[in-house]
Chain A
Amino acid sequence: MILTEEEIREAAEKTREITAGCDTARGSLIPVLQKIQDRLGYVPAPAMEEAARHFGIPAVDVYGIVTFYNQFRLTPPGRHRVKVCMGTACHMKGGNIIMESWERVLKIKVGETTPDREFSLERVACVGCCTMAPVLVKDETVIGKMTPTKVDGMLFSHQLANKKEGVPQ
């Protein structure tokens, strides 16, 4: 994911604001990263480097924590967020097939964002409607009984709607 100059500057600035009122104890690192994610929606590389500088630790240690926990995003969220359920019921009903379909049509991996920032793909662990498995949440809409064909259809109708509104592809 290529960040703009503006985003890099913003990430470093906001991180400095957050760390300014914070001690340098290692235990404060995760709360700081959570605040960064709250403000920016993700934890970009410049923010990790800035946080590492504040705590006096190697940047790779911060990277290790960000990649360890599912709650942290490395890429900015897309305009539309696709969350594929990988809970027990959805897993049994082929949630991984739905995930693979999205990865294939969007040409990204789980946790990433398309280069045009239109879609980001996430996995969630149960959205609470297992009877409709496999389940998918697009933005705030829950869609049940997903199939790979439905994935293609959703993307197609999305592109069609964008075309009608004149959004450049």
Chain B
Amino acid sequence: MSEKITITIDGKTIETMAGHKILWAAMDSGIYIPHLCSARDNHSPSASCRLCFVEIEGYARPVTSCTEGAAEGMVISTRSQRVDRLVRTGFEMIISNHRIECRSCPRNRSCSLQQIAKERGLKLKPARLEKLNRNLPVDDSAQKVAHDPNKCVLCGLCVRACKEKGAGILGFSHRGFDRVITTFLGAPLGESGCDGCAACASACPVGSMTAKQ
């Protein structure tokens, strides 16, 4: 698995390791591919954000680059009509229930959604979809972190960070539109054994989990 190979992304020749995920091979060589849910050290990515699509020559349809390992001689393009359409729809669906208050958001200018919108020329307002505001209460009970579920994109990075570096108290609950990041029985963070490591806040790509000053 660790032999050196050469692949081509958007006409640029890149040396990488066989099996290395295309998303990270591209990111490492300065080619940006939108992504929210994947982490570099995650070997079984959930591919749930549906934003990191790429076209690979010889493949029938676009694939998620966070799950596709590189192979010798692959010719990849990060943009095509089909890719752009998938990414645009995926992004609009995520943004349609994301509370937009960039100006007062602590992650303004360091937000992955803003970056994706900028890179791909997408709008932070869903043009074709109705805006769905869940109006969930902001959990301000913990000492070190605050959780605003209205800004959550359900990428699961905080759940993973909490299990690996923190107390392991975060998880998903409920289903569909009601899905949220929560603690056991939905207890407030401050009463759930949160040790204040703020690993969730550094993992959060948007302004949902934020470290308190």
Whether A60 lies near B174 (C-beta < 8 A) is no
A63-B163 contact, Cβ under 8 Å, with A58-B168, A58-B171, A68-B174 = no
Name the segment of B85-93, B136-144, B178-186, B205-213 touching the other chain: B178-186
- Contacts of A64 on B, CB cut-off 8 Å? 171-173, 182
How near does chain A come to B161, taking the closest CB pair, in angstroms? 13
> Out of B168, B169, B174, B183, which one reaches A67, CB within 8 Å?
B174
Is A67 within 8 A of B175, CB to CB?
A: yes
Judged by DSSP, the binding face of A is helix
Q: Looking at A45, A60, A61, A63, which has the most chain B CB atoms within 10 Å of its CB?
A: A60
Residues of chain A contacted by B172 (CB below 8 angstroms): 64, 68
The B154-176 residues at the A interface (CB cut-off 8 A) are 163, 168-175
- Compute how far the CA of A49 lies from the CA of B171 in the bound complex, rounded to whole angstroms: 14
Count contacts on B: residues with CB < 8 A to the other chain.
14
**CB-based contact A60/B175 at 8 Å:** no
* Interface hits, B53-108 → A, CB 8 Å: none
Q: Which of A48-68 contact B (CB under 8 A)?
A: 48-49, 58-61, 63-64, 67-68
Q: What is the bound-complex CA distance between A63 and B159, given in angstroms?
A: 14
Contact A45 B185 (CB under 8 A): yes
Q: A58-B163, A58-B168 are in contact. Are A67 and B173 (CB under 8 A)?
A: yes
Q: How far is the CB of A107 from chain B (nearest CB, A)?
A: 19
Interchain CB contact under 8 A, B174 and A61 = no
Bound state CA distance, A24 and B193, in angstroms? Answer: 25
Given A58-B163, A58-B168, A58-B169, do A63 and B184 touch, yes or no (CB 8 Å)?
Answer: yes
Tell me the bound Cα distance from A45 to B168 in angstroms. Answer: 17
A82 vs chain B, min Cβ distance (A): 21
A60 and B168 alpha carbons, distance in the complex (Å)? 8
Q: How far is the CB of B97 from chain A (nearest CB, A)?
A: 19
Q: Would A63 and B175 count as touching, CB distance under 8 A?
A: no
Contact with B along A35-56 (1 / 0, CB 8 A): 0000000000100110000000
7 A-B residue pairings within 8 Å (CB atoms): A45-B184, A58-B163, A59-B184, A63-B173, A63-B184, A63-B186, A67-B175
Instruction: Tell me the B residues contacting A by CB distance below 8 Å.
Output: 163, 168-175, 182-186
With A63-B182, A64-B172, A68-B174 given, name 13 new contacts (CB 8 A).
A45-B184, A58-B168, A58-B169, A59-B184, A60-B170, A60-B173, A63-B173, A63-B184, A64-B173, A64-B182, A67-B174, A68-B172, A68-B175
